[in-house]
């Protein structure tokens, strides 16, 4: 009875949810068939403050100076939030960062901090007869928020090198040195030490996280943790987020049946590797016996399925990494997937704030369509009058010919006015489109769209994730027996008014 009440209450709440509190569906998903739920930690359970990007950026620059001997001037570089966004691709050879649409067309490209013109982009990325395929080691994909400081540092360094040494033929070595620097600060513990010393400033705490996990457990789901982070760091972050939050769970470990750390995803889904039980963490601290029986390091997905006694579609995995978490778990194991995209909240708030401007844009596009039609009619009229004048020249009187010339001239005059109106409307539409895109990101525009098409990231989210949302805590608003259904497919005529950015 209580469960039924809970269901009705939450289902009723759903219609009142803000767009950024909702869960969006790409594939039908019956949550009551899911028995086990797995969770990634970083950027899934744990939401980091954006200043973590600046910290990684600053520490990596120090590495570049001390290990690779770069000029100390680079220590003054300021980190620019939003300087790059998720979903972009780093072209390591050419020193560029590019945004691709769903057809792999390069819509925006920066060489260092300089935006390339359309012609410059075309020379590099649109060779006649070849479709551009950014595959292989030359490219690095920005698939998680952890990649952003590295990519932004690459852009800043490319500009710095161009200004101080002149343009290079190949920036691969720079990309590799930056990669090594980032790897070093992750591996030597300097980044994590800073987080540990200031956990309240770097890890955003939400009381709703514990409630959401409790909501799943109360709904009969068994939970497991599957993270690439080490045990000591996982312990630090999840103690901050979950321990002593609810009276039913003293320790964060109490929420989970199995805890897998240092899992090396995507390898975890691809390669049969031993899953090791651990009793001591990476810093040599003993893990309590009450907990250590369920803590493992590394391994392979089949082992976790064996341990929990469930497999395939009965398992749902929550993660933020397009490939490492979402694609591979779905493709290899047939697990259902939920993708957490933090940036979705800001994107949806921007869309919400654009309602009036979108209506204006839609109206202007309608005007443009009418103008194009009218222009076409006058072009046809002028053509037909000219053709008639030539064909019937010998049969027409002088007066009739003069009248015809007057009609042609009048139509040409109207046509010229229409052309002016059309170019003004095109300009107004373009300005408004640019204004709308700037609200998303002045350099890169909307995360999920590229002009009028989907961006590479938008395409991947739609292809790979069964459901997606901006925060794991949004699942708290939905019943644990929820049937997530896709909206019915719309035909072109049904989407006539959906020209929103």
40 or 101: CB nearest Mg ion: 40
| Beta strand segments in 177-324, E | 203-204, 222-226, 258-261, 275-277, 295-298, 315-319
Select the span of 33-41, 229-237, 249-257, 361-369 touching Mg ion (CB under 5 A): 33-41
Nearer to Mg ion, 42 or 107 (CB): 42
Q: Give me the least distance between CB of 26 and Mg ion, in Å please.
A: 20
Please say which residue, 102 or 331, places its beta carbon nearer to Mg ion.
331
- Closest by CA position to 125, among listed 106, 110, 141, 108: 106
- Show the tokens assigned to 134: 């950014």
Binding track over 431-470 against Mg ion, x by CB under 5 A? ----------------------------------------
- Contact map string, positions 311 to 350, toward Mg ion, x by CB under 5 A: ---------x------------------------------
Does the protein bind Mg ion through residue 91 (CB under 5 A)? Answer: no
CB of 189 to Mg ion, least distance (A): 19
Range in contact with Mg ion (rule: CB under 5 A) among 36-44, 179-187, 289-297, 414-422: 36-44
Question: Alpha-carbon distance 45 to 209, whole Å?
Answer: 7
The nearest distance, CB 355 to Mg ion, in angstroms, is 33
Nearer to Mg ion, 36 or 43 (CB): 43
Cα 22 versus chain centre, distance: 17
Q: Which stretch binds Mg ion (CB under 5 A): 40-48, 303-311, 407-415, 431-439?
A: 40-48
Q: How many helices (H) and strands (E) does the chain have?
A: 17, 20
* CA atoms within 13 A of residue 340's CA, in its CB half-sphere: 22
Q: 222-226 and 36-39 as β-strands: parallel, antiparallel, unpaired?
A: parallel
Burial of 446 (0-12, 13-18, 19+ CB in 10 A): buried
In angstroms, rounded to a whole number, what is the distance separating the alpha carbons of residues 456 and 450? Answer: 8
Member of 29, 38, 39, 42 binding Mg ion (CB under 5 A): 42
Minimum CB distance to Mg ion, residue 87 (Å): 15
Among 37, 40, 161, 202, binds Mg ion (CB under 5 A): 40
Q: Cα(26)–Cα(28) distance, rounded to whole angstroms?
A: 7
Q: How far is the CB of 144 from Mg ion (least distance, A)?
A: 6
Instruction: Select 43 or 121, whichever has its Cβ closest to Mg ion.
Output: 43
Report whether 85 contacts 343 (CB < 8 A): yes
Min CB(46)–Mg ion separation in Å: 8
Give 265 or 482: the residue with its C-beta nearer to Mg ion. 265
Q: Are 75 and 61 contacting, i.e. CB atoms less than 8 angstroms apart?
A: yes
End-to-end CA distance of the chain: 44
Q: Would you say 158 or 185 has its CB closer to Mg ion?
A: 185
For residues 329 and 429, the answer to whether their CB atoms sit within 8 Å is no
User: How many angstroms separate the CA atoms of 491 and 240, rounded?
Assistant: 48
Question: Site residues (CB under 5 A) for Mg ion?
Answer: 40, 42-43, 320
């Amino acid at each position: 009875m209580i469960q039924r009440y809970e269901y009705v209450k939450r289902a009723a709440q759903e219609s009142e949810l803000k767009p950024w509190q909702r869960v969006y569906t790409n594939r039908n998903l019956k949550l009551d068939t899911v028995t086990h739920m797995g969770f990634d930690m970083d950027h899934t359970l744990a939401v980091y403050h954006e200043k973590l990007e600046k910290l990684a950026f600053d520490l990596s620059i120090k590495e570049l100076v001390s290990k690779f001997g770069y000029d100390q001037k680079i220590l003054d570089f300021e980190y620019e939030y939003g300087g790059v966004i998720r979903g972009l691709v780093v072209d390591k050879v050419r020193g560029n960062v590019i945004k691709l649409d769903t057809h792999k067309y390069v819509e925006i490209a920066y060489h260092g901090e300089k935006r390339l013109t359309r012609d410059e982009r075309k020379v590099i990325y649109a060779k006649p007869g070849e479709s551009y395929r950014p595959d292989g080691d030359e490219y690095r994909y920005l698939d998680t928020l952890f990649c952003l400081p590295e990519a932004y540092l690459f852009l800043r360094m490319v500009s710095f090198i161009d200004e101080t040494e002149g343009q290079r033929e190949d920036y691969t070595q720079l990309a590799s040195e930056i990669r090594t620097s980032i790897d070093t600060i992750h591996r030597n513990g300097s980044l994590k030490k800073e987080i540990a010393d200031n956990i309240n400033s770097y890890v955003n705490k939400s009381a709703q996280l514990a409630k959401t996990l409790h909501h799943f457990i109360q709904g009969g789901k068994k939970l497991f943790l599957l993270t690439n982070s080490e045990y000591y760091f996982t312990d630090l972050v999840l103690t901050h987020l979950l321990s002593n939050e609810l009276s039913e769970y003293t320790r964060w470990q109490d929420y989970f049946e199995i805890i897998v750390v240092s899992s090396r995803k995507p390898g975890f889904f691809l390669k049969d590797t031993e899953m090791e039980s651990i009793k001591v963490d990476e810093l040599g601290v003993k893990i309590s016996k009450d907990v250590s029986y369920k803590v493992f390091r590394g391994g392979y997905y089949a082992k976790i399925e064996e341990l929990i006694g469930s497999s395939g579609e009965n398992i749902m995995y929550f993660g933020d990494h397009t490939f490492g978490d979402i694609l591979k778990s779905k493709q290899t194991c047939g697990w259902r997937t939920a993708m957490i995209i933090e940036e979705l909240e800001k994107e949806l708030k921007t869309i919400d704030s654009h309602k009036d401007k979108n209506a204006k844009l839609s109206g202007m596009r309608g005007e443009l369509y009418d103008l194009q039609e009218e222009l076409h009619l006058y072009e046809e009229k002028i053509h037909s009058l000219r053709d008639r004048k030539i064909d019937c020249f010998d049969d027409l009187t002088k007066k009739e010919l003069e009248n015809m010339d007057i009609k042609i001239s009048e139509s040409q005059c109207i046509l010229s006015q229409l052309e002016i109106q059309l170019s003004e409307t095109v300009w107004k539409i373009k300005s408004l489109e640019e204004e709308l895109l700037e609200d998303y990101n002045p350099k890169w525009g909307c995360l999920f769209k590229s002009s009028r098409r989907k961006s590479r990231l938008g395409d991947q989210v739609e292809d790979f994730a069964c459901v997606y949302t901006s925060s794991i805590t949004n699942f708290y608003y939905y019943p644990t027996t929820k049937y997530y259904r896709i909206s019915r497919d719309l035909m072109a005529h049904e989407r006539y008014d959906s020209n929103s950015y």
